[in-house]
Structure 1
Amino acid sequence: MFRLPFLVALALLTTFGLGVGSAVMMLNASSGFGAIRLGAWQAFPDAQLASADPYARSHRARAGRLLLGSAEGLQFQASVDDDGRSLNPACLYEIRGETPPARFWTLFAANRELDPIVVDEALPSALNSRTVLRNADGSFVIHVSAKAQPGNWLTIPAVGSFKLVLTLLDTPAAGSSRILEITMPKLARVSCS
């Protein structure tokens, strides 16, 4: 007598559970479609637009973050180096070159949720276009490591995973249709301990 209602309820719960589970898994796996990759750096320029795909809009709503408008700036993330290897906190990395034209830019290490990582208040956990030391030609070299380095140094945690986040503010690259032609700084692994 209770067999049929039990089977119907089981089927509905299984269907509902699989549907919700697959939607949450997809939201965790992607920030949406339309990603551009320039070397190690990846950006989602359409994520903040009203015409963004449903996954990008859901990801944005779930994260509860305000994104930059297309005229305000563009955020790039790197979770791999230029050779495609995952960033490892036991390694020393160099970010070398120049950023695309921007009025101001920031660089920091972040966790998976893109929250800034502060290892110690006394150590440099972020750099920007005003504080970075430059070469005579305007280029720079930034060392990313858990151990202190000479020159521009961005500290990262000694264990765990991290991403690098480069935000360009007031940049013509954000609203440009030629965004794939911009030159990003190189992100290379120097050594590992």
Structure 2
Amino acid sequence: MLLSLAFSALLLLVTIKAGLGNSFLKNGDWRTSESIGAADADVIVRAVVAIGGLLASTREDSMYYTISSVAGEPLNLDCRYRIEGGDYDANWWSITAYGWDYFLIPNEQKRYSFNNDNINRGEDGRWVIHVSATEENGNWLPVGPSGAPASEKSTHHDFDLLLRLYTPGEAYLQNPGSAPLPVVTQEGCS
């Protein structure tokens, strides 16, 4: 009986660490799940959100998109990334960098995200965010080592980006796999 209980606990831990796996919808390199925030979400989805999606809201009030790789390459601290976009059909949106440990990445600037209110835009209303471990001009989102010990790392990527859309429009609620999203490109690696 103890062996069965230990095996069940291990299986649950592996399932939760695997996350939502195939239940994600892809939109370019971004991923989302229609189960996050849904009233009928199963116990695994709820556990994954409780661990990695602190303070997640209901699906009707928000949509969350995450990206942990660009063109199949995991987000890496040795690389520079460019996020380009404009406004989105939502009352408020933000892009935040999180370490592989699901927490904000410590940095001297105490800058963890950009949103539709604090981002600098071009004359055409479009914007660019530079994501890197070294300082950049303009809208720079610093990334660096996570606050957790490196020995605990269980992912291939060093950080991920989360796009939050609060009170999203119908395109996000009805067609999250094809709704307009920011474009992320890798600019180079050292």
Q: TM-score, normalised by structure 1?
A: 0.82
2:4 to 12, 15, 21: 15
Name the amino acid aligned to 1:142: I
Counterpart mapping for 1:36-55 below 5 A: 36-55=25-44
8 Å CA contact 2:99–2:145 kept in 1: the answer is no
1:16, 1:40 → 2: CA distance? Answer: 38
User: 1:158: Cα distance to partner?
Assistant: 5.4
1:156 to 140, 143, 152: 143
2:175, 2:13 → 1: CA distance? Answer: 33
Residue matched to 1:119? 107
User: 1:136: Cα distance to partner?
Assistant: 2.5
Residue matched to 1:95? 83
Q: Evaluate the alpha carbon distance shift between residue 109 and residue 61 of structure 1 in structure 2; reply closer, same or farther with a 3 A threshold.
A: closer
- What are the Cα deviations for residues 3-55 of structure 1, in whole angstroms up to 9, with x where unaligned? xxxxxxxxx33222112101111011113663211112111232211211231
Q: Which 4+ residue blocks in structure 1 deviate beyond 6 angstroms?
A: none
Structure 2 stretches of 5 or more lacking a match? 151-157
1:35, 1:131 → 2: CA distance? Answer: 30
Does residue 180 in structure 1 map to residue 177 in structure 2?
A: yes
Structure 1 stretches of 5 or more lacking a match? 1-11
Equivalent pairs: percent with the same residue? Answer: 26
2:65 aligned counterpart, secondary structure? strand
2:17, 2:117 → 1: CA distance? Answer: 34
- What are the Cα deviations for residues 53-99 of structure 1, in whole angstroms up to 9, with x where unaligned? 23102333456833211221111111111x11000011100001235
Name the amino acid aligned to 1:147: T
Q: Evaluate the alpha carbon distance shift between residue 140 and residue 181 of structure 1 in structure 2; reply closer, same or farther with a 3 A threshold.
A: same
1:188, 1:20 → 2: CA distance? Answer: 39
Q: Evaluate the alpha carbon distance shift between residue 63 and residue 157 of structure 1 in structure 2; reply closer, same or farther with a 3 A threshold.
A: closer
Q: Evaluate the alpha carbon distance shift between residue 134 and residue 64 of structure 1 in structure 2; reply closer, same or farther with a 3 A threshold.
A: closer
Q: Evaluate the alpha carbon distance shift between residue 85 and residue 39 of structure 1 in structure 2; reply closer, same or farther with a 3 A threshold.
A: same
- What are the Cα deviations for residues 110-168 of structure 1, in whole angstroms up to 9, with x where unaligned? 12342211311x35322111111112222211100111111111000157721111111
How many residues end up aligned between the 2 structures?
180
1:100 aligned counterpart, secondary structure? coil
Name the amino acid aligned to 2:129: I
Residue matched to 2:73? 85
8 Å CA contact 2:132–2:140 kept in 1: the answer is yes
Q: TM-score, normalised by structure 2?
A: 0.83
